[in-house]
Amino acid sequence: MNLYLLAPEISLCALALVVILLDLFIGRKWILGAVSIAGLIVPAAFTIALWGTNETSFNGMLVVDQFSLFFNLFFLVSTALVLLSSTEYASKFAAFRGEYYALVLLAAMGMMLMASTRELISIYIALELTGISLYALTGFLKDPKSSEAGLKYLLLGAVASAVLLYGMALVFGLTGTTHLEGIKAAISAEGLLASPALLMGIVLLVAGFGFKIATVPFQMWVPDVYEGAPTPITAYLSVASKAAGFAVILRVFYEALGPVSLDWSIIFAVLAAITMTLGNVVAIWQTNIKRMLGYSSIAQAGYLMIGLATVSALEPGAIGSSGPSALVFFLACYALTNLGAFIAIIAISNKIDSDEISDYSGMARRAPLLSLALALCLISLIGIPPTAGFMAKIYIFSAAVDYGLIWLVIVAVINTVISAYYYLRVIRVMFLGAPLSEERVPSSGALRAALSFACLGVLVLGIYPWVLLRIAEAAVRMFP
């Protein structure tokens, strides 16, 4: 048992405890935010120091490889951006800042564990650690909308956990082990179609994880929860929590259920087509920008699932495993873009105290830089060059074409055109609408730093994506 392998998670947990204790004994609360953000350097440093290792520990429950380390870094960066964007926002719940920061850190720890476990029970515990922290954070504003969102998320999340556990129980009952390698060995012996109960278990697993990534038909909670939750937490849900769900799906389905990939890849292909169509079509009618981005994140989950449907595990040892690497690359681009969009919205909405798109009218004259940043992120969400979203879409679509999923790519391209309508509408309102008042919209230094990081990332990845592509390919290399 090698505790050093767990160093990023342990240091993050210690950081959360330190934040809780500091909250109790110091009066100047701004220190809490600073400590949480600066403290993230420690787990990030451990993660980078561990890069290149490929070991398992704790009886094979914990695995440290390029994939888990990549996601560790992914979660730490998105957590840092979310914390940076909530330093000003936290004044809305001034009495509970310590709890807020600590819960965000604990949720990040759960996500990191989700990407680095190789055993069903540990996956479930990590999932719950993330989930319970996020349920509490969703209801943090304590106004009727936020409480409703928190309760809805809790109830639906509990149902999804039950479904997931049932799926895990069926898989365990039919294979006799909770370890992913053991499941793989037991499955490859008998085909999937020979055992309907195992198929049932896999479908239930898809349902349970599908709740986390908000795919149709488990997307009902998204609009209400996204609208009611504090905006930094909405950003957190739409980026980190979704990425954690994808990490777990990649881990479970590629490692344990790889031999029967033909059976489940078609499930993901159909779900992807329905998810992106529903998300995009419903987003057109939204008047609240948080709700609109909620439906947009459903649609993006649909694009991401193309990567799951594009299984290249057919010939073992082949280098062209472009489906998973395209998915990981898309996740990174999507994270920067969506976080950027949400940070801009936090900055604007904090001052005008409204999330309605119509209130953004003429924002380009009141806050030129913020509007420009928001426009850049929305363009990246559509997938227009020279942004990260364009590169991500090119890469994931070409992977699907190589695999022969032409029909899915056609559906996705039509969807991209539909999505351009509602993204561009926001830009039109901001740049061509008449301003509702002449008052300027200022923003804090932390918000500006986070926003410029995200926008810079979007532009750099759009023009020079190769570095991240290599890292993404390295991250998924151990998948067969």
Partner 1 sequence: MLGNFGYIGIFLISALGFAIFMVLIPPILRRSGIVPKKPNPTKSSTYECGMETVGKSWVQFNFRYYFFALLFVIFDIQVVFLYPWAVAFKQLKLFGLLEMLAFFLILVVGFIYAWRKGVLEWK
Name the site residues for partner 1 (rule: CB under 8 A). Answer: 13, 17, 20-21, 24-25, 173-174, 176, 195, 197
Residue closer to partner 1 (CB basis): 4 or 285 = 4
Q: Least distance to partner 1 from the beta carbon of 20, Å?
A: 6
Q: What is the DSSP letter of 319?
A: S
Give backbone dihedrals phi and psi of 72, rounded to 5 degrees, phi first: -55, -50
Q: Which amino acid is at 143?
A: D
Q: Least distance to partner 1 from the beta carbon of 29, Å?
A: 14
Q: Least distance to partner 1 from the beta carbon of 96, Å?
A: 10
Residue closer to partner 1 (CB basis): 174 or 274 = 174
Q: Least distance to partner 1 from the beta carbon of 188, Å?
A: 14
Q: Least distance to partner 1 from the beta carbon of 24, Å?
A: 4
Residue closer to partner 1 (CB basis): 174 or 449 = 174
Residue closer to partner 1 (CB basis): 176 or 191 = 176
C-alpha closest to that of 88 among 33, 153, 127: 33
Number of Cβ atoms within 10 Å of the Cβ of 71: 27
Q: Least distance to partner 1 from the beta carbon of 63, Å?
A: 21
Q: Least distance to partner 1 from the beta carbon of 37, Å?
A: 21
Q: Measured between alpha carbons, how far is residue 22 from residues 86, 124, 258 in Å?
A: 18, 30, 46
User: Are 73 and 22 within 8 A, CB to CB?
Assistant: no
Q: Measured between alpha carbons, how far is residue 172 from residues 161, 197, 212, 215, 473 in Å?
A: 16, 11, 21, 25, 31
β-bridge pairing 62-64 and 55-57: antiparallel
The CA R_g of the chain, rounded to the nearest whole Å, is 21
Q: Which two tokens stand for residue 219?
A: 């997307």
Residues 6 or more apart from 281 whose CB is under 8 A from it?
418
Residue closer to partner 1 (CB basis): 120 or 450 = 120
State how far the Cα of 444 lies from the Cα of 90, in Å rounded to an integer.
13
- Neighbouring-strand partners of residue 64: 55
Residue closer to partner 1 (CB basis): 170 or 248 = 170
Q: Which amino acid is at 384?
A: I
Residue closer to partner 1 (CB basis): 161 or 195 = 195
Q: Least distance to partner 1 from the beta carbon of 475, Å?
A: 31
Q: Measured between alpha carbons, how far is residue 189 from residues 69, 181, 194 in Å?
A: 31, 13, 11
Judged by DSSP in three states, 299 sits in helix
Q: Least distance to partner 1 from the beta carbon of 31, Å?
A: 17
C-alpha closest to that of 167 among 137, 206, 132: 206
Residue closer to partner 1 (CB basis): 197 or 220 = 197
State how far the Cα of 276 lies from the Cα of 89, in Å rounded to an integer.
31
Residue closer to partner 1 (CB basis): 32 or 299 = 32
User: Are 367 and 443 within 8 A, CB to CB?
Assistant: yes
